[in-house]
Amino acid sequence: MANKRFSDFVVGTSHTDVDYVVGYKGADNIQIQPSELDSTYGLSFVNTSSTLFDIVLDGISGPDAGNVYSGTIQAGENITFTADPSPGIDLKISTQVQNKITVTGIWKNLFGGSPGIFGDTLEFAASASPVAANSSVFVIPFDCVLENVTTKWIHNTAVNIVGSDTWTVFLYTLNSPNISTTVQANYSLQAQIGVQLTAADTGSFPLKSWDGSIAFSKGDILNVSGVENGAIATDDAEMEAYLTFRETY
């Protein structure tokens, strides 16, 4: 037992420096080995998905034996988690910046003023002529998704559509890279997107926008057409379109 005041005790730096720690509980005097006051833990990692990773702390001995604690790390945008088999490495964190591009095109002489193969063809080149002998397309530069299409009426007179007539934007892809872009049968329909002009737009200079996710592969050849349903009066109006693509891996 101690034979001096606590203030005279030699300072230790480890639990191995003492045989027992003493105290009391109620009226009982207690001695306990220092090792019984320490808890040891096992640490493990669980890769639950490419965006979720669990850290698990498992009490092995001591007062916390049998207790399990865990937390989850969630990956942010463009970050993925993978289990790494390399010795001493449990988690590999990867990040890739997904490029975005916005492509601008223009519809000239809307509602059949100059014929396109499906209707009004979106012209991607500044000097392109919207006539039957030519049909503008856009070659997809990398694997991607189309995630937004926004259109803006830019003519100095407002839209004039009556009755149930509509004008709707469709996306088509060319079936093969080395065939004519001016033959309707050479295309496959990819999607009808939510950009449409109706009688509700009459008298306005509309801004329209669509958000979604349509996948394309590098080298796909895209035709964007405004297709008329009804008999909208031919106009020399123009409307721009802005297509935003996000690269995928």
Residues 217/81, Cβ–Cβ less than 8 Å: no
Coil, helix or strand for 58? strand
Residues 212/193, Cβ–Cβ less than 8 Å: yes
d(CA 65, CA 173) in angstroms, rounded, equals: 63
Nearest to 154 by CA among 199, 208, 194, 114: 208
Tell me the residue type at 130. P
The pLDDT value given to residue 36: 76
pLDDT in tens, 28-73: 888 888 777 778 888 887 777 777 878 888 888 888 888 999 888 8
- Give, for 71, the enclosing helix (H) or strand (E): strand 68-74
Tell me the residue type at 183. V
pLDDT in tens, 144-195: 999 999 999 999 999 999 999 999 999 999 999 999 999 999 999 999 988 9
In this structure, the number of other CB atoms found within 10 A of the CB of residue 166 comes to 16
Please report, for residues 43, 144, 149, the alpha-carbon distance to residue 102 in angstroms, rounded to integers and kept in the order given.
47, 12, 9
CATH class, range 100-247: mainly beta
- CATH 2.60.120 positions along the chain are 100-247
Nearest to 161 by CA among 111, 220, 89: 111
pLDDT in tens, 194-232: 899 999 999 999 999 999 999 999 999 999 999 999 888
Please report, for residues 58, 89, 212, the alpha-carbon distance to residue 46 in angstroms, rounded to integers and kept in the order given.
13, 13, 33
Nearest to 193 by CA among 179, 207, 211: 211
